[in-house]
Amino acid sequence: MKLSVVIPVYNEEDNIAPMLDALEGALSSMDYEVIFVDDGSRDATVKNILSVKKKNVRLVRFARNFGQTSAIAAGIAEANGKYIATLDGDLQNDPQDIPMMLKKLEDEALDMVAGRRAKRKDGMFLRKIPSLIANLLIRRLTKVTIKDYGCTLKVFKASLAKELDLYGELHRFIPILAVMLGAKFAQVDVRHHPRKFGTSKYGMSRTLKVASDLLLMFFFLKYRQRPMHLFGSIGFGMMFLGGFIEMYLLVMKIIGQDIGGRPLFYVGILLLIMGVQFITTGFIAELLMRTYYGSQNKTPYIIASRYQGGKVVGGE
């Protein structure tokens, strides 16, 4: 199996048949499979998928709605292809772009090719502008220069995709997770179509989720292997400032001034307590990371290849 196409769907009953027709037109020259992951649909999505009697069309059905990230993760886990493509089930991504992306991945020996919606067919104020701001913020904080984090259309080596630790709402940050695994990637312009059937599942409520996950990604990139560097630095900074305040007030007390009613006194005490708490949190985080690596036999490094006698004996 050369390619597995993973498509998370949620109430997309009218898009199933057109999606399969589009995939057949784009991928008929290669050996491929389609894995639909139904994320708790309440319409005829499952029925329409089951009505397709093709051996290369598979369905993974969730017991309830778990979210797009979980659906993508489940599809990747089920995939048998050497390469894996992901795309939305709303027909806004164009399957015709997959062969081009796959060729680029193979020709340039990449691990991932990400799509960039060149002419996005979405609303300006509710979709485009928030997306532009979010993409800019993510690039600034993470230094991972993907211009369109919201485009689901991506093509991976299966060996990379199956190593992605996807949970929560992290599907938006797949390029960052890939970079953490040492992946080589590129981005290409892809087509984007207006939605014809169904309704969008996105809204402004996702903004806070994206902001929270962005902080998590920043922490992973900078401090996952050394959380004490973050929490310890903050803790010692607070303790130093709190200690300085209290020493200043002690001098004021010695020269006869009343310090008991000063708000600064309580600010200093609070900073000292918070400093101790941050340092303690750093110790706990260090222990958790050691447990994480030890219990799963993970290493804090990634080997690209091994050589013996001048010849490659491992890796890709």
Considering the domain architecture, whether residues 35 and 172 belong to the same structural domain is answered as: yes
Pairing assessment for the beta strands 305-308 and 311-315 based on DSSP bridges = antiparallel
Q: Is 63 exposed, middle or buried (0-12, 13-18, 19+ CB in 10 A)?
A: exposed
Q: Is residue 149 a part of any domain in this protein?
A: yes
Looking at residue 127, which CATH number applies to its domain? 3.90.550.10
User: Which tens digits make up the pLDDT trace of 138-154?
Assistant: 777 777 878 888 889 99
Averaged over 93-109, what is the pLDDT?
95
pLDDT > 70 in the chain, percent: 87
Of 278 and 129, the structure prediction assigns the larger pLDDT to 278
Considering the domain architecture, whether residues 159 and 266 belong to the same structural domain is answered as: no
Of 54 and 126, the structure prediction assigns the larger pLDDT to 54
Q: Alpha-carbon distance 280 to 204, whole Å?
A: 36
Q: Is residue 134 a part of any domain in this protein?
A: yes
Q: Which of 150, 8, 159 is nearest to 70 (CA)?
A: 8
Considering the domain architecture, whether residues 62 and 176 belong to the same structural domain is answered as: yes
Q: Into how many domains does the chain fold?
A: 2
Q: Dig out the tokens for 90 from the structure.
A: 């709303």
* Res 301: pLDDT: 62
pLDDT band per the 50, 70, 90 thresholds, residue 306 = low
Q: Is residue 302 a part of any domain in this protein?
A: no
User: Which tens digits make up the pLDDT trace of 30-54?
Assistant: 999 999 999 999 999 999 999 998 9
* Res 200: pLDDT: 67
Considering the domain architecture, whether residues 84 and 17 belong to the same structural domain is answered as: yes
Considering the domain architecture, whether residues 169 and 210 belong to the same structural domain is answered as: yes
Considering the domain architecture, whether residues 188 and 240 belong to the same structural domain is answered as: no
Residue 254 has pLDDT above 80, yes or no: yes
DSSP structure class, residue 192: B
* Res 259: pLDDT: 81
Q: Alpha-carbon distance 38 to 203, whole Å?
A: 20
Q: Dig out the tokens for 93 from the structure.
A: 């991504």
How does the average pLDDT of the chain come out, rounded?
86
Residues contacting 218, CB < 8 A, separation 6+: 141, 142
pLDDT band per the 50, 70, 90 thresholds, residue 12 = very high
Q: Is residue 142 a part of any domain in this protein?
A: yes
Alpha-carbon dihedral 136, 175, 9, 198, rounded to 10 degrees: 20
Considering the domain architecture, whether residues 107 and 210 belong to the same structural domain is answered as: yes
Considering the domain architecture, whether residues 267 and 164 belong to the same structural domain is answered as: no
Pairing assessment for the beta strands 57-61 and 32-38 based on DSSP bridges = parallel
Pairing assessment for the beta strands 3-9 and 83-86 based on DSSP bridges = parallel
Considering the domain architecture, whether residues 123 and 231 belong to the same structural domain is answered as: no
Q: Which domain holds residue 142?
A: 3-222
pLDDT band per the 50, 70, 90 thresholds, residue 126 = low
Q: Is residue 307 a part of any domain in this protein?
A: no
Averaged over 53-81, what is the pLDDT?
92
Q: Alpha-carbon distance 146 to 139, whole Å?
A: 7
Which residue, 202, 222, 242, sits at the end of a domain? 222
Which residue, 174, 203, 222, sits at the end of a domain? 222
Q: Is residue 15 a part of any domain in this protein?
A: yes
* Res 313: pLDDT: 74
Q: What DSSP string describes 135-179?
A: HHHHHHHH----S-TT---EEEEHHHHTT----TTGGGGHHHHHH
Separation in Å, CA 199 to CA 64, 79, 89: 19, 28, 12
Element (H, E) at 71: helix 68-78
Residue 311 has pLDDT above 80, yes or no: no
Q: Is residue 304 a part of any domain in this protein?
A: no
* Res 292: pLDDT: 75
* Res 136: pLDDT: 77
Handedness of CA 64, 59, 23, 148 (dihedral sign): positive
Least confident range from 68-72, 112-116, 143-147: namely 143-147
Give strand pairing partners of 63.
Answer: none
* Res 125: pLDDT: 55
Q: Alpha-carbon distance 218 to 179, whole Å?
A: 12
Q: Which of 184, 137, 183 is nearest to 163 (CA)?
A: 183
Averaged over 89-100, what is the pLDDT?
93
Considering the domain architecture, whether residues 159 and 41 belong to the same structural domain is answered as: yes
Which residue, 163, 187, 222, sits at the end of a domain? 222
* Res 314: pLDDT: 60
